[in-house]
């Protein structure tokens, strides 16, 4: 199971962008303050799957780190909505023919 290419966000606003031919390139914009992380925290390079959900994780020997659930970003939502609309249009046009 892999994350599809696109932008994912945490509820606190950190961002993970997945790209690459095989969805193996990750770029993270981590908001230490909003995620309630300390200055010693290190963000994990790769997101972690747990129970069907994906998480952005950070580790730390001082505060024990943490994790935040990743949600589809606006680009992913728009893409899914567009695909859904295209499918509905094709089905509708097919019914008229």
Parent domain of 13: 6-92
Task: Reply yes or no on whether the pLDDT at 93 is more than 60.
Answer: no
Q: What pLDDT shows up at residue 80?
A: 61
Please indicate, yes or no, if residue 32 is contained in any of the structural domains.
Answer: yes
Q: How confident is the model at residue 79, as a pLDDT?
A: 61
How many structural domains comprise the chain? 1
**Residue 25 maps to a domain:** yes
Q: What's the predicted TM-score (pTM) here?
A: 0.73
Confidence of residue 2 (pLDDT cuts 50, 70, 90): confident
User: Considering just the CA atoms, what is the radius of gyration of the chain in Å?
Assistant: 17
Q: Is residue 18 part of a domain?
A: yes
Residue 31: C-alpha distances to residues 28, 51, 81 (Å): 10, 25, 28
Asked if residue 1 belongs to a domain, the reply is no
Judge whether 97 lies within some domain: no
Query: For residue range 38-86, what is the model confidence (pLDDT) as tens digits?
Result: 999 999 988 999 998 999 999 999 999 999 999 987 766 666 656 544 4
Cα–Cα distance, 59 to 96 (Å, whole number): 57
Dig out the tokens for 60 from the structure.
């730390």
Q: Tell me, yes or no, whether 48 lies in a domain.
A: yes
């Amino acid at each position: 199971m892999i994350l599809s290419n696109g932008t994912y966000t945490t509820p606190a606003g950190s961002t993970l962008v997945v790209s690459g031919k095989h969805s193996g390139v990750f770029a993270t914009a981590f908001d230490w303050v909003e995620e309630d992380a300390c200055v010693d925290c290190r963000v994990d390079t790769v997101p972690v799957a747990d129970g069907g959900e994906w998480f952005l994780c950070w580790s730390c020997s001082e505060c024990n780190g943490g994790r935040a659930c990743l949600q589809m970003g606006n680009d992913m939502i728009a893409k899914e909505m567009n695909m859904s609309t295209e499918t509905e249009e094709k089905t509708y046009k097919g019914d008229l023919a």
